[in-house]
């Protein structure tokens, strides 16, 4: 993958940041996107660039189609055509894909609302060899919601899966792949907030709060490592995964199996 260009949304920390570092380790140039302080973002950008690749940053808000278009232009200006678009999201967000109407499923924190996303703008990379490597759904948000709102959750998951498959089928003969990753509980900032909430609710220690949450949600009784999720994403973007497309792949310590 050396020399390919990856645009990774939500990559200023957490799983997206791990994806950026892992792809940079493979020689990919990186366009970062997401929110954070200028100091934190520059620290990450410098760290990625230190791996011997080019790395730039776009502050685009993905809830605003015009900013998505500007991000694509900025990426092409800084790196060239996009080979690997990778969308990080906390709920059932759609993958970007060439030729899909911009009137479709959209985004909101944790997938709680739906709106408009510029699929046609975000997905039109101008490169017929694009690997639409991963459209990422953060499993902790959706799985955590299962007990509270199972009908809404199932609807979101069904929409995500259908969009992933539709994009994969539409692009099946172009060499472009589209897959969704569904991680279980990864210890990100959001995970830390859930632990803090459990501690406050039960008056328990951090260790006991983690044990309670893992027993309820993750049969492996361990966090999914950022590096594990990133390694799977890198594989899906590689030539070895050229025939894997339209799949939703769980990496969740048995969470899906127990559901």
Write the CB contacts of 46 (distance below 8 Å, at least 6 apart in sequence).
none
Q: What are 84's two structure tokens?
A: 């690997």
The span from the CA of 192 to the CA of 206, in Å, is 10
| CATH dotted code for 5-184+224-258 | 3.40.50.720
Confidence at residue 190, expressed as pLDDT on a 0 to 100 scale: 83
Q: What is the pLDDT of residues 91-140, one digit of tens each?
A: 433 333 333 322 222 222 222 222 222 233 333 334 444 444 444 433 22
Residues in the chain, pLDDT under 70: 89-150, 153
Confidence at residue 90, expressed as pLDDT on a 0 to 100 scale: 54
The span from the CA of 233 to the CA of 25, in Å, is 13
Is the separation of the CB atoms in 207 and 33 below 8 Å?
A: no
The domains of the chain are located at 5-184+224-258, 187-222
Confidence at residue 75, expressed as pLDDT on a 0 to 100 scale: 96
Q: What are 53's two structure tokens?
A: 């690749």
Q: Is 59 helix (H, G, I), strand (E, B) or coil?
A: coil
Confidence at residue 256, expressed as pLDDT on a 0 to 100 scale: 86
């Amino acid at each position: 993958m050396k020399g390919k260009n990856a645009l990774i949304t939500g990559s200023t920390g957490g799983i997206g940041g791990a994806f950026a570092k892992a792809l940079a380790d493979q020689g990919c140039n990186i366009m970062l996107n997401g929110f954070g302080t200028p100091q934190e973002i520059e620290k990450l950008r410098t760290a990625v660039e230190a791996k011997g690749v080019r790395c730039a940053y776009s502050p685009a808000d993905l809830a605003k189609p015009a900013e998505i278009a500007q991000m694509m232009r900025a990426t092409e200006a800084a790196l060239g055509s996009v080979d690997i678009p990778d969308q990080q999201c906390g709920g059932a967000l759609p993958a970007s894909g060439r030729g899909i109407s911009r009137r479709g499923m959209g985004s909101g924190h944790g997938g709680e609302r739906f709106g408009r996303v510029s699929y046609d703008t975000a997905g039109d990379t101008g490169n017929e060899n694009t690997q639409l490597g991963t459209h990422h759904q953060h499993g902790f948000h959706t799985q955590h919601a299962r007990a509270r709102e199972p009908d809404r959750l199932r609807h979101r998951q069904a929409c995500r899966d259908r969009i992933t498959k539709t994009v994969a089928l539409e692009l099946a003969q172009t060499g472009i792949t589209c897959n969704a990753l569904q991680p279980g509980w990864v210890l990100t900032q959001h995970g830390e907030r859930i632990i803090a909430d459990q501690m406050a609710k039960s008056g328990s220690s951090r260790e006991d709060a983690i044990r309670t949450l893992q027993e309820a949600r993750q049969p492996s009784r361990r966090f999914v490592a950022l590096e594990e999720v990133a390694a799977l994403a890198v594989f899906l973007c590689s030539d070895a995964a050229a025939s894997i497309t339209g799949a939703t792949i769980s990496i969740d310590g048995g969470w899906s199996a127990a559901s």
